[in-house]
C-alpha cells in the first residue's frame, strides 16, 4: 500500500481500514512511519491505539519513545497502557525509570503485570526490587504473587538480602496461596535463613504449602 492510500485509510471512519493502514506501516522506514503512527495516538478505538503502541515499539526514535510514555501515563484504556509498557521494554534501560514510576501509580493489574514480568528478565535488580515491594501491597492476589516471584528472581544479585527479608516477613501470612508462592521463591536462595524458613513451611498446616516447600528437595 502506497503512503497516500495509507493516509486515506488512517482517516477512514471504518476502524478496520485504519487498522489495515497501521499494519502496512510496518513495511516503511521510521521517518515515514513514525509521524503517521503518532497521528493516531488519540484514535477513539482502543485497538487502534494498541496497534500504534506496537508500531512505536518497532519504529524507535526519541519521538516514538515520548509518544509511548504519553500512552503509558495517560491513555484511558488499560490494554493500551499495557501495550505501551511492552513496547517501552524494547528500548532497554532508558525506559526503566518511566516503567517503575508507572507501576507505582497505575493500580491496574494488567498494566502492572506487563511491567513486572518482563522486568524479571532484565539485569536491573534495584528497579525489580522497588516494584516488587510496591506489588506486595497490591489489593489483588495475582499481583502480590507476581511480586513474590520477582523477589525470588533477585537471589544471587546485590538485592538478595533485601529480597529475602521481604519474603521472610510473609512466611506466616494467613493466606495459603501467598505462603505457597513464598516457599517457591525461597527455594532460589542458598542462604541459612531461607533454608530455615523452608523447614518451617514443610510443616505447614496446608498440604499445598508443604508440597511447594518440599518440591526443591525431591
Residue 77: inside a domain, yes or no? yes
Which whole number is the average pLDDT over 86-91? Answer: 96
Alpha carbon distance 37, 53 (integer Å)? 8
Residues in contact with 127: Cβ distance below 8 Å, sequence separation at least 6, in sequence order = 96, 97, 99, 100, 119
Q: Which among 76, 101, 119 is the end of a domain?
A: 119
Q: Are residues 134 and 111 part of one domain?
A: no
In this prediction, residue 16 carries a pLDDT of 95
Are residues 151 and 92 part of one domain? Answer: no
Which domain CATH number covers 177?
1.25.10.10
Q: Alpha helix locations (H) across 120-174?
A: 125-136, 141-153, 160-168
Under DSSP, the state recorded for 88 is H
Confidence grade of residue 218 (pLDDT, cut at 50, 70, 90): very low
The answer, yes or no, to whether residue 148 has pLDDT greater than 70, is: yes
Q: Using the 8-state DSSP alphabet, how is residue 210 labeled?
A: H
Same domain, yes or no, for 5 and 66?
yes
Cβ(166)–Cβ(133) under 8 Å? yes
Q: Is residue 186 part of a domain?
A: yes
- Domain C-terminal end among 119, 144, 162: 119
> Which of 69, 91, 119 corresponds to the end of one domain?
119
Domain that holds residue 207: 129-218
Same domain, 55 and 105: yes
The percent of residues in the chain predicted with pLDDT above 70, rounded, is: 99
Q: Flag whether 124 is in a domain.
A: no
Average of per-residue pLDDT across 80-89:
97
Give 164-186 pLDDT, tens digit per residue: 999 999 999 999 999 999 999 99
- Whole-structure pTM value: 0.90
Binned at pLDDT 50, 70 and 90, residue 217 comes out as: low
- Does the pLDDT of residue 35 top 80, yes or no? yes
Amino acid at each position: 500500500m502506497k503512503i497516500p492510500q495509507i493516509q486515506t485509510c488512517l482517516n477512514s471512519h471504518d476502524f478496520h481500514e485504519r487498522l489495515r493502514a497501521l499494519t502496512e506501516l510496518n513495511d516503511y522506514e521510521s521517518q515515514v512511519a513514525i509521524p503517521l503512527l503518532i497521528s493516531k495516538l488519540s484514535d477513539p478505538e482502543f485497538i487502534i491505539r494498541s496497534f500504534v503502541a506496537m508500531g512505536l515499539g518497532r519504529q524507535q526514535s526519541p519521538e516514538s519513545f515520548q509518544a509511548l510514555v504519553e500512552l503509558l501515563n495517560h491513555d484511558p484504556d488499560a490494554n493500551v497502557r499495557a501495550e505501551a509498557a511492552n513496547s517501552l521494554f524494547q528500548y532497554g534501560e532508558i525506559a526503566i525509570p518511566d516503567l517503575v514510576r508507572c507501576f507505582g501509580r497505575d493500580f491496574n493489574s494488567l498494566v502492572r503485570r506487563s511491567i513486572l514480568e518482563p522486568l524479571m528478565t532484565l539485569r536491573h535488580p534495584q528497579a525489580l526490587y522497588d516494584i516488587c515491594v510496591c506489588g506486595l501491597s497490591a489489593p489483588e492476589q495475582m499481583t502480590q504473587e507476581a511480586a513474590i516471584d520477582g523477589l525470588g528472581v533477585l537471589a544471587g544479585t546485590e538485592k538478595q538480602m533485601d529480597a529475602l527479608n521481604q519474603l521472610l516477613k510473609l512466611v506466616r501470612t494467613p493466606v495459603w496461596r501467598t505462603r505457597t508462592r513464598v516457599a517457591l521463591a525461597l527455594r532460589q536462595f542458598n542462604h541459612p535463613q531461607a533454608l530455615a524458613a523452608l523447614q518451617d513451611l514443610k510443616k505447614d498446616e496446608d498440604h499445598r504449602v508443604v508440597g511447594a516447600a518440599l518440591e526443591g528437595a525431591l
